Copies of this chain bind each other. A is one copy, B any other.
């Protein structure tokens, strides 16, 4: 059983805005074992919307259409769907009363505009709007069930969670979800991850492996039909064993969350000294709710003068070894640990380019040191890339070095 998703909106076709609604829908359906077979994005145009719906007829039993349900003139999704199904629009009294009630204090012209959204497609089951003003519509047409939902992400998500997913499950009977695990790794390049696990797909035919690479991180996505549950588990176990040092979490868990949990468990505090990442490492750490229990703060020592003045990096070291050197990173980590009275100091110094590379430290060179009372660890990265890639890779590598240090102590 397959699903099709149609996202509607001129703005999505310009390439300016990412289609996060599609991402949300695909993930939620996937978690329930419903595979998306087709995704189409069309303009705010009645004929295009109708054509897109028709093109799903032989492909999908479940169709979710999102966007274009608002009150303005360019919102024509209702009309497009009605046209494809050969149905009319009719004013829905319940929705009308609900909206009139909620917006009784609006001036007449504005209320009239909002009430445009009370026109539903004939035969539709209504999902009342709580957050927004556009109701969702559920339509049954032959073998297909069509869900027409608002494009505002919060409204879409609410209707999906409270109504649509349950409705799909009701119609299809108990789903046999695809077993799916996302194993997240840090510190091993994509090609190396691939080499370590590639043979498993040949040995266990029903299991599929996919790799998603981010700078410094690789996710391994393992999927299998439920009928192959034993093979699925064997593959997961095998990957876990082969990548044990690199594995920091599963699913949506971030590396910063994994590190935060370790810090909290061990009752350790951390401070960061950042040069080329300019605050990115601190930003990742504090993106985790509750990070104030272990993160003291940091120093962004972008200029050499700041490295010397605030972190106490030796002037001779900066001159002889250079600002991008292992010894400078070591002194930065020591300095920030002392200056902010943290148990652990983490430092990053590197060259992100496009300018500033030298023979000793070309663009892409990054030194990372992690230092606590009992010792230190670290890594040297030498890998080209864009400014953003180098920065992200550096911040992720620093988090991973901190993780390894915590596991080691």
Contacts and interface: CB of A to CB of B under 8 A. Distances in A.
Contact of A310 (B36, B42, B340): B340
A237 to B, nearest CB: 22
Interface string A1-33: 000000000111111111100111111001000
Interface in A275-315: 276-283, 285-287, 289-292, 295-303, 305-306, 309-310
Contacts of A41: 38-40
Interface stretch (A77-85, A126-134, A239-247, A349-357): A349-357
A387 B210 CA distance: 31
Contacts of A310: 297, 299, 310, 339-340
Nearest to A6: B40
A102 interface: no
Nearest to A36: B13
A2 to B, nearest CB: 9
A37 B30 contact: no
Given A278-B295, A297-B310, A340-B309, A15 B27 contact: yes
A222 interface: no
Given A282-B279, A295-B278, A300-B282, A30 B42 contact: no
A18 B39 CA distance: 13
Contact of A39 (B13, B35, B276, B306): B13
Given A11-B212, A14-B26, A295 B287 contact: no
B287 A292 contact: no
A59 to B, nearest CB: 8
A281 B43 CA distance: 36
Given A15-B30, A279-B283, A280-B279, A306 B302 contact: no
Interface string A166-203: 00000000000000001000000000000000000000
Contacts of A35: 13
A37 to B, nearest CB: 6
A341 B292 CA distance: 28
A387 B289 contact: yes
Contacts of A51: 55, 59
Contacts of A274: 279, 282
Given A24-B15, A297-B303, A287 B341 contact: no
Nearest to A213: B17
Contacts of A18: 18, 23
A13 B40 contact: no
A361 interface: no
Contacts of A276: 286
A272 interface: yes
Given A279-B286, A292-B303, A212 B16 contact: yes
A287 B278 contact: yes
A388 interface: yes
B297 A302 contact: yes
Given A15-B36, A274-B282, 16 more contacts: A13-B38, A13-B39, A15-B24, A16-B27, A16-B219, A16-B221, A51-B59, A272-B300, A277-B286, A278-B279, A278-B287, A279-B279, A282-B302, A297-B306, A298-B300, A299-B310
For the complex of A and B, the 6 pairs showing the least CB-CB separation, nearest first, are A278-B286, A279-B282, A15-B26, A279-B279, A297-B306, A298-B300
